[in-house]
Amino acid sequence: MTATFPGASPLEIECWDYDDLFGDDLIGKTVIDLDDRFFCPEWKSIIHKPVEFRELYHPSTAIAQGTVKCWLEIFEQEVADNEENKLMDITPEQSMEYQLRVSIYDTKNVPMVDIEGMSDVFIKAWIDEKNQKETDTHWRCSTGEASFNWRMLFNINCPNTSGKNELDAYKLKFAVYDRDILSGNDFICDYEIDLRLMMEDCKLT
């Protein structure tokens, strides 16, 4: 798009719900003040403009209706006419599959939840709830120190292709349970590890 500075109109980015029969519905929009960007020394000094995550808003509510991921650059016309600046390659990065190997050795200080002061401890782990894995059971643990030496393997795509939010796509979650034969298993505690930095390191190396 072309614009003249000063006096450029704000850039509006809208997200719509397509509808065959009843007309499209506006989900939300975000507005970028182009004049403010163009004349901002801090913004102009950034050689590689950052990818932005901008919240979408609808006139009917003050609550954000999601987020749009976008990138904005402004070139002077003679620079934009240069052949090498006509097209920017924004092809999505190819997704690679990695194998995550998890070894669960033991626990410490796990609460005893059975009435006799014991727990039949086992652990579930997952990145995707549809693909949960679990250890065997340490029966009649009375010290909080359950032992497993259990290995789990998970396949992970990076970049994420699951459609999950980027913040949740690389979280390895653990949950400790007390196994019950006659009734439902009792949840004891949980924990999660953010693998994003590890996955970025895998991509780079």
Tokens 């652990």 belong to residue: 123
The residue ranges of every structural domain in the chain are 11-85, 96-204
For 43-94, what is each residue's pLDDT tens digit?
889 888 888 999 999 999 999 999 999 999 898 888 777 766 566 777 878 8
Amino acid at 196: R
For residue 176, pLDDT over 90 is answered with yes
For 88-144, what is each residue's pLDDT tens digit?
777 878 888 999 999 999 999 999 888 888 999 999 999 988 899 999 999 999 999
Tokens of 121: 């401890």
Q: Are 142 and 125 in contact (CB under 8 A)?
A: no
Interatomic CA distance for residues 205 and 197, integer angstroms = 12
Q: Name the β-bridge partners of 98.
A: 156
Look at residue 102 in the predicted model and tell me its pLDDT.
Answer: 96
For 10-40, what is each residue's pLDDT tens digit?
999 999 999 888 889 999 999 999 999 999 9
What's the pTM? 0.60
Interatomic CA distance for residues 147 and 33, integer angstroms = 59
Question: Fold for domain 96-204?
Answer: Immunoglobulin-like (2.60.40)
Tokens of 2: 């072309």
Question: How many residues are present in the chain?
Answer: 205
**DSSP per position, the chain:** ----SSSPPPEEEEEEE--SSS--EEEEEEEE-HHHHHT-HHHHH-SSPPPEEEE-B-TT-SS---EEEE------HHHHTSGGGT----PPPPPEEEEEEEEEEE-SSPPP-STTS-EEEEEEEESSGGG-EE---EEEE-SS--EEEEEEEEEEEES--S---TTTTTEEEEEEEE--SSSPPEEEEEEEEE-HHHHHHHHH-
